[in-house]
Amino acid sequence: MTRSAFGSEKKQQGYVLLLSVIFLSVIAVVIAGSFLLLGLAHGQTNFALQQSAQARGLAEACAETALDNLRQNPGYAGNETLSITTDGSCNILPISFSDPTYTIQTNATVGQAVKNLIITAEPQTAGDGSSTLMHVDSWAE
C-alpha cells in the first residue's frame, strides 16, 4: 500500500513541475515579446524625430532662401518649391507685404513629418549704405 501511495505522490509532483515550467515559459515569452515591441516602438519614434528634424531644416533653408531673395530683389513674390534633398522638398508660399514688413511662410515635408514656418522681416540699409539687409522681427514654427 505504501508503494502505490508513493507512486501517486511522484506523479503529482511531476505534474506540478510540468505546470510550473509551462507557466514560467509563458511568462518569459510575454516579457521577451514586451521588450521586442518596446524596442520596435522606440525605433519608430526615433525615425519620426529624425524626419521631423529634417523637415524643420528644410523649412528653415527655404526661409533663408526667401530672405536672401528679398534682400536682392524687394519685388520677390515667393510661391516656389525647392528640392534641396532627395528625401523631401520645401515650399515658399506667396510672400505678403505690408509696408515695411514682409511675411514669409514656408513649409517642408519629409516622410510623414511636416513643418511650417512664419517669418516677418523688414529691409534695412547697411551702415555704409552699400547693401540691403533683412532684419528678422519674428521667426515662429
pTM above 0.75, yes or no: no
Which among 101, 105, 140, 93 has a CA at the least distance from the CA of 121? Answer: 101
- Give dist(CA 62, CA 79) in Å, integer: 11
The dihedrals phi and psi of 135, each to the nearest 5 degrees, come to: -90, 115
Which among 107, 61, 115, 69 has a CA at the least distance from the CA of 85? Answer: 61
pLDDT tens-digit profile of 72-128? 888 888 889 887 766 778 899 999 988 888 999 999 988 888 999 999 998 887 766
- Using the structure block, give the residue that is written with the C-alpha cell 507685404: 97
